[in-house]
Amino acid sequence: MSWWQVDETHDPALSSWVPGADGHADFPVQNLPLGVFSPAGGRPRIGIAIGGHVLDLAAAAACGLLPAEAGGLCGGARLNRLLGAPTEVRQELRRCLSRLLTDPAHRPQLENLLHQAADCTLHLPAWIGDYTDFYVGIHHAGNVGRQFRPDNPLLPNYKHVPIGYHGRASSIRPSGVPVVRPNGQRKAPDMDAPVFGPAARLDYELELGVWIGEGNELGTPIPIEEARRHIAGLCLLNDWSARDLQAWEYQPLGPFAAKNFHSTISPWIVTAEALAPFRMAQAPRPATDPQPLPYLWDEGDQAHGALALELEVHLTSEAMRAAGMAPLALSHGEARHMYWTIGQIVTHHAAGGCNLRPGDLLGTGTISAPERAGFGSLMELTEGGRQPLPLPSGETRSFLEDGDEVTLSATARADGFVPIGFGPCRARVVPAP
Ligand code: MN
């Protein structure tokens, strides 16, 4: 089985007849991400983003413009059936859409099926049956571990087993839905007894989301060399975290109410096929690190299992927006700082026979660079709140205040190819009830 191939759909010379698509920062014709949208006054339906427009795939299928197998999976209000199809079905759909959107001869057929993205509402792209969050950002794990356990930042299992926990699928929302500050129980070390109230140390986490494609049967693991067939695509994920709740509750079973109140995703699924030109080798492990167990090791996964993705976080406060100030860049990092590949986390998840299903979502865990400029959470940037960040408005931030808006963004770049982006993963914090 070969890795996703670079083909004619990635050709940097391709030009789309859709106005504004060429040179679009996120969605040029080389991207073609899948999503679910409602046009003004309409019902949710499956579409793809092209520049500042959305193409209605259900309508295109009804007009007989799409390959029969993929077209038959483009009805309904979520993408689970198309995600669950073999990767070859999505590859064929991608090649067809690339032809339709580049050859001006198809413009008369398709023009009426395009909607201005600004007039559309974007929804969760799939019914998310299960959500699991991992912890593969080794620099994040070290930074956070130092705050909780100064002498012992990385626990002894970290380099042997991809650490994760089962998260909460019901509270995942697409970009734009406000996040309500959670109430919860906390007890700082200097307090005699716990209290219940609004979280005082609300944070964001910069993560990638992994959309599961074809599932596996209960009791049937996914071999590492086949893991990529089960990965339909990626999105951005902000795993909002209440650090004061987390510090009190996390032992012995891990995160619970500190993490389950809301998670925000970018609503477009950037497909594994679109990301083919941006695959890169996983960074070699330092010679002193243990060799992973054989079920997690595949030469192909090591050679192609990482991604050349730049990741950014921006913040605005209410005062900054009122003064018309530009968003403050909080960090700029890269996805290659993952200690485990997404193939390894998929394989590890299923290794005991756990069944993954189409539309399940895996979070990578917070991705931080080794240097401060690429730290993926406020907890790291402010050293647990001890070094507040100055904002251009004259305010400072240790953790998020009501009215703050956080935007995650990602761009895939490789020499000789057109960069593609993920679109924003954005939400504003509103007060606790
Ligand atoms: Mn997380």
With pLDDT > 70 as the criterion, what percentage of the chain qualifies? 99
Q: Which residues are catalytic?
A: 140
Domain with CATH 2.30.30.230 in the chain: 8-122
The Å distance, Cα 429 to ligand 1 centre, comes to 18
CA 207 to ligand 1 centroid distance, Å: 7
Q: For the CA atoms of the chain, what is the radius of gyration?
A: 21
The count of other CB atoms within 10 Å of the CB of residue 155 is 11
Reported confidence tier of residue 148, pLDDT bands at 50, 70, 90: confident
Q: Region 52-60: what's the mean pLDDT?
A: 98
Spell out a b/e string for 265-302, using b for 16 or more CB atoms within 10 Å of the CB, else e. Answer: bbbbbbbbbbbbbbbeebeeeeeeeeebeeebebeebb
Give the pLDDT of residue 4: 74
Token pair belonging to 192: 């005699």
Query: Which of the four pLDDT bands, split at 50, 70 and 90, describes residue 1?
Result: very low
Q: What sections of 312-383 are H helices per DSSP?
A: 318-322, 342-350, 378-381
Q: How far is CA 416 from CA 7, 12, 274, 280, in A?
A: 13, 7, 15, 14
Tell me the per-residue pLDDT of 224-243, one tens digit each, with 9 for 90 and over. Answer: 999 999 999 999 999 999 99
In the chain, % helix, strand, coil (3-state, to 5) comes to 25, 25, 50
- What is the model's pLDDT at position 151? 85
Q: For residues 180 and 23, what is the distance between their CA atoms, to the nearest angstrom?
A: 36
| Contact present, 187 and 194 (Cβ < 8 Å) | yes
Mean pLDDT over all residues of the chain?
A: 97
148-154 average pLDDT score: 85
Report cis status (omega within 30 of 0) of the bond before 255: no
Task: Find out whether 254 and 35 touch, Cβ atoms under 8 Å.
Answer: no
Instruction: Name the least confident of 3-7, 161-165, 323-327, 380-384.
Output: 3-7
Q: Which fold does the domain 8-122 belong to in CATH?
A: SH3 type barrels. (2.30.30)
Q: Closest Cα to residue 176, out of 266, 240, 242?
A: 266
Ligand 1 center to residue 108 CA distance, Å? Answer: 46
Q: Report residues near ion ligand 1: CB below 5 Å.
A: 133, 205, 239
What is the structure's pLDDT at 3?
A: 62
Delimiting residues of CATH 3.90.850.10 domain(s) in the chain:
131-430
Cβ atoms of 45 and 55 within 8 Å: the answer is no
pLDDT at 149 over 90: no
Question: What backbone torsions phi and psi does residue 38 show, to the nearest 5 degrees?
Answer: -120, 125
Using DSSP's 3-state secondary structure scheme, residue 263 falls into strand
Q: How far is CA 26 from the centre of its chain?
A: 14
pLDDT for the residue numbered 147: 87
pLDDT at 29 over 50: yes
How far apart are the CA of 142 and the centre of ligand 1, in A?
Answer: 14
Type and span of the H or E element at 264: strand 263-265
Lowest model confidence (mean pLDDT) among 48-57, 139-148, 355-364, 377-386: 139-148
- Alpha-carbon gap, residue 54 to 33, rounded angstroms: 10
Report the separation in Å between the CA atom of 178 and the middle of ligand 1, taken as the mean of its atom positions. Answer: 19
Per-residue pLDDT reduced to its tens digit, 83-114: 999 999 999 999 999 999 999 999 999 999 99
**Angle 124-336-9 from CA coordinates, rounded to 5°:** 60
Report CA 388 to chain centroid distance, whole Å: 27
Position 2 confidence tier, pLDDT thresholds 50, 70, 90: low
CA distance 350 to 222: 6
pLDDT digits (tens, 9 = 90+) for 196-211: 999 999 999 999 999 9
Contacts of 383 (CB under 8 A, 6+ apart): 147
Per DSSP, 371 falls in state: S
CATH topology of domain 131-430: Fumarylacetoacetate hydrolase; domain 2 (3.90.850)
More confident residue, 147 or 426: 426
Helix (H) or strand (E) holding 34: strand 34-38
Q: What's the average model confidence in pLDDT over 157-172? A: 97
Using the mean position of ligand 1's atoms as its centre, give its distance from the Cα of residue 299 in Å. Answer: 28
Percent pLDDT > 90 in the chain is 96
User: How far apart, in whole angstroms, are the C-alpha atoms of residue 223 and residue 2?
Assistant: 15
Q: Residue 150's pLDDT is what?
A: 86
pLDDT tens, residue by residue, 412-431: 999 999 999 999 999 999 99
What is residue 351's predicted lDDT score, i.e. its pLDDT? 98
Q: Which of 54, 65, 61 is nearest to 18 (CA)?
A: 54
For residues 118 and 2, the model is more confident at: 118
What pTM was computed for the model? 0.98
Whether 392 shows a pLDDT value over 70: the answer reads: yes
Amino acid identity of 78? R
